[in-house]
Amino acid sequence: MADHRSDLWEREDTPPEGAPAPQPAPPAPPAEAVLLPALKDAVLTGIITGLLLLPLVGFRATESGSGPLTLTYRFGLVSVFAGLVMVLRLVLNLTVWRPGRPPRAKSAALAGVSQRIAPALKPAFFAFALLYPFIAIVFSGSLSLSRYWVDLGIYILTYVMLGWGLNIVVGLAGLLDLGYVAFYAVGAYTFALLSSSVPLNAFFDAHVAEGFWASWSFWVCLPVAGLLAGLWGIILGFPVLRLRGDYLAIVTLAFGEIIRLVLINWVSLTNGGAGISSIPPITFFGVPFNSGDDGFAAIFGLDYNSMHRMIFLYFVILGLAALTALATIRLRSMPVGRAWEALREDEIACRSLGINTTLTKLTAFATGAMFGGFAGAFFAVRVRFVSPESFTFMESAVILAIVVLGGMGSQIGVASAAILLIGGMELLRNLSFLKADFLFGSDFDPSLYRMLIFGFAMVAVMVWRPRGLVANRMPTIFLKERKAVSGALVKEGHG
């Protein structure tokens, strides 16, 4: 009995760090013992794939004018897919999943390199973000040609900021929020409604200066939008914070949907599904981006180019995102941030130690919501049009996916996940080369497959790395020695 016990203990011991665990390779089974089961398994997988695809790919209910639906058949496509899956499975069975294959040891040299470059990663990242518009201009040849790339940068940074904002709620405090887009919507609509409001415009014209509201509204409304979104975070958070885990997720989802439905149906305030389109453009702290004498270009002695506004927008969102990151880093080392992380790890222990859990959760909710509101106001001034269409559940799902894929709580992970996901989605939009005759033909629409691939990638990444891209976490407070905590040791979402 004693022997057995010591054996158990030994096996649970972890190998010394860096060195690959010495594992005796099991004797390789004979070739036919591998091939036959692999073949059987592959054929079975192929048959199942065929059956799965048969009803919805094999048949298609086609509209013929205004008449009844007719069926068209695509059995060839089904068999091609089934065959592909079968071959892929067979290849995998014989290579990666081959029984008796020694597990690949993690390269020690690679781990050393990644450890050495880790401290330089964040400054490099930030420097690249700062220089990005100029790099884009240099590589695309001229200011006007870089429009697409700068726009893409703004788009990605918006999601980086949203991811960092949600990271406070999900990653730090461990509260699963599926309705984050509600606060994004509150911010966007706050700015849109205030800036396009005629009475406000008239009031400021009469009392402050002519044209004041048109040029300053964004800078005045940005904090207002953040505060209002934070207030909504408290209003929505207060009743639901007694709930735990999944229930909280569903209630926040319901709130997100309620806000969207109210935006659609309250036509007298929000103009319903048609949206609000008379939003004034952003100004350089009061100086408009136009070709006039008092415009940005004239004052700074540049040739007028509409790209100036875009580049300014880029730096505004970069600043907002940096603000979010900085605030998060500072908050993490303050009592409230410590309380968030403690709450994520164990709510009951938190309560026993005298932490006011309701207040702690509310601050997390409100802080996250506030950054969502900032991002919303920015979104409204960038697009200059808001409608409920932009604030669907899909948007919340994408932001949450960014946070989780990035490895919850890790700032750099969230940023990389945003770049990967949003950049990847944008890449899929540009797959027009697939329209070539020798591939799929000109009636093939690659953009249809964008969300299909996105959904599939979400599942695949979760299965491949359930802990996200950056699964290690540095504790903010430590005894004697700072040690990275593997993500597998941290539990989340018991809020």
Partner 1 sequence: MDIFLQQLINGLTLGSIYGLIAIGYTMVFGIIGMVNFAHGDVFMVSAFIGLICVLLLTTVIGISSIFLILAITLVVAMVFTGLVSWAIERVAYRPLRGSFRLAPMISAIGMSIFLSNFVQVAQGPRNKPLPPMVPDVIVLMERNGYQVTLAYKQIIIMAVTAGLLFGFWWLVQKTPLGRAQRACEQDRKMAALLGINVDRTISLTFVIGAALAAVAGVMYLMYYGVVNFADGFVPGVKAFTAAVLGGIGSLPGAVLGGLLIGLIETFWSAYFSIEYKDVAAFSILVVVLIFMPQGLLGRPEVEKV
Pick the closest to residue 487 from 171, 167, 248, 15 (CA basis): 171
Please report whether residue 242 would count as binding partner 1 according to CB under 8 A: yes
Q: Can you tell me which of 62, 64, 268, 442 binds partner 1, judged by CB under 8 A?
A: 62
Q: Can you tell me which of 375, 401, 415, 418 binds partner 1, judged by CB under 8 A?
A: 401
- Of residues 83 through 142, those in contact with partner 1 by CB under 8 A are none
What is the separation of C-alpha 372 from the centre of its chain, rounded to a whole number of angstroms? 13
Nearer to partner 1, 62 or 442 (CB): 62
Nearer to partner 1, 37 or 239 (CB): 239
Residue 225 beta carbon to partner 1: minimum distance, rounded to whole angstroms: 24
Residue 75 beta carbon to partner 1: minimum distance, rounded to whole angstroms: 13
Q: Can you tell me which of 2, 8, 19, 71 binds partner 1, judged by CB under 8 A?
A: 71
Q: Are 340 and 200 in contact (CB under 8 A)?
A: no
Residue 383 beta carbon to partner 1: minimum distance, rounded to whole angstroms: 23
Side chain identity at residue 36, one-letter code = L
User: For partner 1, what does the binding mask look like between residues 150 and 179, x meaning CB under 8 A?
Assistant: --------------------------x---
Residue 459 has phi, psi (to 5 degrees) of: -65, -45
Residue 222 beta carbon to partner 1: minimum distance, rounded to whole angstroms: 29
Residue 176 beta carbon to partner 1: minimum distance, rounded to whole angstroms: 7
Side chain identity at residue 85, one-letter code = V
SS3 480: coil
Q: Are 169 and 234 in contact (CB under 8 A)?
A: no
Contacts of 76 (CB under 8 A, 6+ apart): none
User: For partner 1, what does the binding mask look like between residues 366 and 395, x meaning CB under 8 A?
Assistant: ---------------------------xx-
To 5 degrees, how large is the angle CA 278–CA 304–CA 126?
Answer: 80
- Of residues 11 through 50, those in contact with partner 1 by CB under 8 A are 48
SS3 106: coil
- Identify the residue whose tokens are 């409608």: 387
Q: How many residues bind partner 1 (CB under 8 A)?
A: 64
Determine the interface stretch with partner 1 among 10-18, 202-210, 255-263, 377-385 (rule: CB under 8 A): 255-263
Please report whether residue 265 would count as binding partner 1 according to CB under 8 A: yes
Q: Can you tell me which of 61, 105, 130, 474 binds partner 1, judged by CB under 8 A?
A: 61
Name the burial class of residue 375, with classes exposed (0-12), middle (13-18) and buried (19+) by CB atoms within 10 angstroms of its CB: buried
SS3 478: coil
Residue 10 beta carbon to partner 1: minimum distance, rounded to whole angstroms: 23
Determine the interface stretch with partner 1 among 54-62, 276-284, 319-327, 425-433 (rule: CB under 8 A): 54-62
Determine the interface stretch with partner 1 among 109-117, 261-269, 300-308, 314-322 (rule: CB under 8 A): 261-269
Residue 333 has phi, psi (to 5 degrees) of: -100, 10
Please report whether residue 198 would count as binding partner 1 according to CB under 8 A: no
Pick the closest to residue 368 from 158, 219, 161, 189 (CA basis): 161
Please report which helix (H) or strand (E) contains residue 70, including its range: strand 69-73
Q: Can you tell me which of 18, 20, 28, 70 binds partner 1, judged by CB under 8 A?
A: 70
- Of residues 222 through 241, those in contact with partner 1 by CB under 8 A are 239-240
Please report whether residue 449 would count as binding partner 1 according to CB under 8 A: yes
Residue 257 beta carbon to partner 1: minimum distance, rounded to whole angstroms: 5
Q: Can you tell me which of 35, 36, 54, 87 binds partner 1, judged by CB under 8 A?
A: 54
| Alpha-carbon span 411 to 46, nearest angstrom | 41
Q: Which residues pair with 63 in a beta bridge?
A: 69
Contacts of 260 (CB under 8 A, 6+ apart): 181, 182, 185, 388, 391, 392
Residue 476 beta carbon to partner 1: minimum distance, rounded to whole angstroms: 20
Q: Can you tell me which of 75, 139, 456, 478 binds partner 1, judged by CB under 8 A?
A: 456
Name the burial class of residue 15, with classes exposed (0-12), middle (13-18) and buried (19+) by CB atoms within 10 angstroms of its CB: exposed
| Alpha-carbon span 84 to 19, nearest angstrom | 39
Nearer to partner 1, 397 or 420 (CB): 397
Nearer to partner 1, 424 or 493 (CB): 493
Residue 175 beta carbon to partner 1: minimum distance, rounded to whole angstroms: 11
Pick the closest to residue 154 from 295, 387, 319, 324 (CA basis): 319
| Alpha-carbon span 344 to 479, nearest angstrom | 20
Strand 485-486 to strand 472-473: parallel, antiparallel, or no bridges (unpaired)?
antiparallel
Q: Are 332 and 172 in contact (CB under 8 A)?
A: yes
Residues that bind partner 1 (CB under 8 A): 48, 51-52, 54-57, 59-63, 68-71, 176, 239-240, 242-247, 249-251, 253-255, 257-258, 261-262, 264-265, 348, 393-394, 397, 400-401, 404-405, 408, 448-449, 451-452, 454-459, 462-463, 466-467, 491-494
